Amino acid sequence: MRLELSAEDQAFREEMRGFFTTEVPQEIRSTVLEGRELSRDQIVTSQRILNAAGLAVPHWPVDDGGRDWTDLQRHIWHEEMQQAGVPAPLAFNASMIGPVLAQFATPEMKRRFLPATANLDIWWSQGFSEPDAGSDLAGLRTTAVRDGEDWVVNGQKTWTTLGQYGDWIFTLVRTDPEAKKQSGISMLLIDMTSPGLEVRPIELIDGGHEVNEVWFTDVRVPGENLVGEVNQGWTMAKFLLGNERVGVAPVGAVKRALARAKQLAGAQLDDPLTRARVAELENQLLALELTALRVVANSADGAPHPASSVLKLRGTELQQAVSELILDLAGPASLGARGAEDSDLPGWARRSAPTYLNLRKASIYGGSNEIQRQIIARTILGL
């Protein structure tokens, strides 16, 4: 297969690179490039700039604001965005509920939610995982019972990422406790200001506040907020999770992080063991990049090739390995994690340990790496 870009695709790459490096404020891109935490306003500002240029949701249907791009163009768009340090459009909006609404919602629901979702006028949260229903999502126990024109929701969701910023939450609820567990689930859109809905923070190992519990106590939800048909939720959940796994290999971001690690290493690169470690990571990353191009070239009709599981698996492993390299380069300075900004320790060194710890999640979300190994064994190796 051909792995060199055509003149047209190279021009497209230059167009994306030029936009991302000139139209998105440097202050936002520097926050990403230096590994600092983005604020809610920075994420919203960035996505609105992208949306105004038609670059926030190119993978949506054209009638709903998407672009008729090839898979390779979407890959280039995503890679250049990561390389430039531009925050990717909020995944809950752009990659999760947006495509679900475009596929399953009524025309009225599309008009109400899709433009606001693309522009991040609504910040969506994901209400899937529960304390006993994470990997076994169909085991969820949050219930929705019909009462007149409304649904009454009771239960608990957990690991709700950035739920502290959420305006609405798309939620899987059990609407038929007597049916087979996958068959008794529906999807509801719930206003997070509804009485009886409570968001409780979970402190992570890196000391940050990124995920939350969401509790529902007799929360009344208008019947019109049901997506699709009653008990069709499992079909939408599978559709959403399939979209979530597309583009989950952060090739551009890992390339950027590894290049920065070489800059930060300074005199440590004189150590042959450090040089060998960097060279090994560069070779593995190059192999991953070429695999990503092969996957893109073999995807059909927007459907991910089974080899995309290889990208997720290796992409997250390399992402973690680079974060470990930076942690080792920081050495004892990494113990100053989350120290004050006026600390004598370099900011990148103080952030290295929280970043290393935070990225342990990468091998779990988007379909755990154990699940990806099963997919590779079954669909690629035929085991």
Catalytic residue among 244, 282, 289, 370: 244
Distance CA 294, CA 79 (A): 15
Q: Catalytic annotation on 244?
A: yes
Q: Which residue type occupies 279?
A: A
Distance CA 280, CA 286 (A): 10
308-330 vs 272-298: helix axis angle to the nearest 10?
A: 160
- The candidate with the shortest Cα–Cα distance to 69, out of 83, 84, 54, is 54
Element containing residue 218 per DSSP (H, E) = strand 209-222
Tokens of 67: 């672009």
Distance CA 313, CA 298 (A): 18
Helix (H, G, I), strand (E, B) or coil at 230: coil
CB 164 within 8 A of CB 199: yes
CB 114 within 8 A of CB 102: yes
Element containing residue 358 per DSSP (H, E) = helix 347-358
CA–CA distances in Å: residue 320 to residues 29, 174, 357: 22, 36, 9
The angle at the Cα of 267, spanning 261 to 273, to the nearest 5 degrees, equals 75
Phi, psi for residue 297 in degrees, rounded to 5: -65, -25
| Torsion angle of the four alpha carbons 267, 268, 271, 276, in this order, in degrees rounded to the nearest 10 | -120
Phi, psi for residue 311 in degrees, rounded to 5: -60, -45
Residue linked to tokens 């910040």: 123
Furthest-apart CA atoms within the chain: distance in Å: 73
CB 222 within 8 A of CB 247: no
DSSP structural state of residue 136: S
Catalytic residues: 244
